[in-house]
Amino acid sequence: MTEAKPTVTRLDRQQRLLAIGLVLGVTMVAFEITAVLTALPTITDQLHGDSLYGVALACYTLANLVALVVTGELTDRYGPAKPYLGSLVVFASGLIVAATAPTMGLVVLGRALQGAGTGGLAPIAYVLVKRAFPTDRQPKMYAYLSAGWVLPSLIAPLVAGTVTDQFGWRWVFWLLLPLIPVVAVMTVRPMRAYASMGSGTLRHSRIAAAIFAAAGMGTFVTALQFKNVAAAIAGAIIGLAVGIPSLRRLFPDGVHRAARGLPAVVSCRMLATAAFLGVDSFIPLAADRIHGAPPTVQGFVIIGSALTWTSGQWFMAQHPEIDPRRAVRWGFITIGLGVCAIVPVLFAGWPLWATFLGWAIGGFGMGLLFNPTTVTAMSHAQEGAEGLVSSQVNLADAVGFSTMGGIGGAMVALSDRTSLSLAGALGINFGLAFALAGLGAICAGRIAAATS
């Protein structure tokens, strides 16, 4: 007697259209992030902005931080359509500012606006998966959203590198503008039809805390770039004093000690993003400055990790029976192995194809833990408050990335004005990423889904 296969809930027309639109939005954001990472070394070269390389990375996610909280609250109160449209408009303005920037400082401003725009898209997508799709389809929807990274990961480095070489880096930003109205047309109507309203109530607002948290983290990241040691230390202390208390108000209680349940899930996401992107963001720089690779090759070295990230997510979507604690622990272990595999990129004679393969290991680790942390976190979201939990998960990603971007950028800036070599600076970054992966493997045992 054969065992009957479990039935899968069919999606109606509005749900299918919404799914396509959300994935298209993720694809647009993924193309922007991957393309700009490819072009950024050239941008800093031409605008003489090495000291702002880390700031350009960190400001994007600091703006994300505020946008995540703002859009989360607006979505819970008014529904997703208006916040989503507003995010697209802000994103478009950031592209225009960066494309026309005569200085690295204005590129940083453009990146901040881009971060504010894209910061609203991810939490709204998570909210819509929770509100608009049946429970048995939600893990695959998260995998579909991740799959939106695949095509950009394959073509964005080639397109961005070719455009940068042939037409100039400014066209990397201009080329993204036509995608924005397409995403708006595809998404807003089904949002209004399927999840048009929020709860209509506003709990204690966290927007002020988000602004202070971003200001504190921005002060910390900027201070790390100062040439004067005393000013750098003082600025870093002030930034931490402002940022840490504010972040504690934004996160669920107990994140700092990875308390069992949602706090541990959020802690693991923060550690995973910091470990992964603390390496991923600096491999193109190593390919440029240590290996002399052209822009196309700089971006190509990291696309294997995006592909394996998606592969890991699809594997977990097909096997929801795997204990999330086990999946997350093995995800961190695999990230750690990937970090070890790419350390030789610090030596000029090491082939970049080997770095491509080595960092693909780290990408698979992120895929293993990404779906379990997302699904487990959203299981804690109460009806009408999905934006709160969604923003907390995405906020963890932003904090992890901006912190490592700031520290890593400070190491790069330090190598530019001291006897510390660039290889030594990047080696410090990679060592810190390995340590964070190890800490995450320990914290993984404390995550747990909400009990019904």
CATH code of the domain in which 411 resides: 1.20.1250.20
Within a domain: 1? no
Within a domain: 7? no
Range of lowest pLDDT (140-154, 216-230, 289-303, 396-410): 140-154
The model's pTM: 0.76
pLDDT bucket at 436, cuts 50 / 70 / 90 = very high
Residue 2 scores a pLDDT above 80: no
Q: 246 and 394 share a domain? A: no
Q: What's the average model confidence in pLDDT over 101-110?
A: 90
Range of lowest pLDDT (147-151, 249-253, 438-442): 147-151
In the prediction, which pLDDT does 76 show? 78
**Percentage of residues in the chain with pLDDT exceeding 70?**
92
Q: 411 and 310 share a domain? A: yes
Separation of alpha carbons 58 and 130, rounded Å: 29
Q: 137 and 286 share a domain? A: yes
Q: 360 and 309 share a domain? A: yes
357-371 pLDDT, tens per residue?
A: 999 999 999 999 988
Which residue range(s) make up the domain with 235? 204-250
Within a domain: 3? no
Please name the amino acid found at residue 98: A
Residue 44 scores a pLDDT above 90: no
Within a domain: 2? no
In the prediction, which pLDDT does 143 show? 76
In the prediction, which pLDDT does 195 show? 58
246-267 pLDDT, tens per residue?
A: 988 889 889 988 899 899 999 9
Q: Nearest-CA neighbor of 221 among 303, 314, 111?
A: 111
Range of lowest pLDDT (182-186, 194-198, 408-412): 194-198
In the prediction, which pLDDT does 97 show? 94
Q: Which is higher by pLDDT, 7 or 140?
A: 140
Q: 191 and 230 share a domain? A: no
The last residue of one of the domains, among 186, 216, 250, is: 250
Q: 325 and 433 share a domain? A: yes
Give the list of residues 6+ apart from residue 308 with CB closer than 8 angstroms, or none. Answer: 360, 361, 363, 364, 367
Q: 126 and 176 share a domain? A: yes
Within a domain: 153? yes
Calculated CA dihedral for residues 135, 138, 140, 145, nearest 10 degrees: 170
pLDDT bucket at 199, cuts 50 / 70 / 90 = low
Q: 211 and 343 share a domain? A: no
Within a domain: 35? yes
Within a domain: 276? yes
- The structural domain count of the chain equals 2
In the prediction, which pLDDT does 1 show? 42
Q: 177 and 235 share a domain? A: no
The last residue of one of the domains, among 214, 230, 250, is: 250
Within a domain: 119? yes
229-248 pLDDT, tens per residue?
A: 788 889 889 999 998 999 88
CA quadruple 316, 68, 30, 361: dihedral sign: negative
The last residue of one of the domains, among 250, 269, 287, is: 250
pLDDT bucket at 329, cuts 50 / 70 / 90 = very high
Residue 3 scores a pLDDT above 60: no
Residue 332 scores a pLDDT above 90: yes
Give the list of residues 6+ apart from residue 390 with CB closer than 8 angstroms, or none. Answer: 72, 122, 123, 124, 126, 127, 130, 378, 381
290-318 pLDDT, tens per residue?
A: 999 887 687 678 878 878 988 898 888 78
Q: 238 and 100 share a domain? A: no
pLDDT bucket at 12, cuts 50 / 70 / 90 = confident
Q: 313 and 387 share a domain? A: yes
Q: Nearest-CA neighbor of 43 among 157, 161, 170, 162?
A: 170
In the prediction, which pLDDT does 279 show? 92
| Residue 382 CB coordination number (10 Å) | 10
Q: 287 and 328 share a domain? A: yes
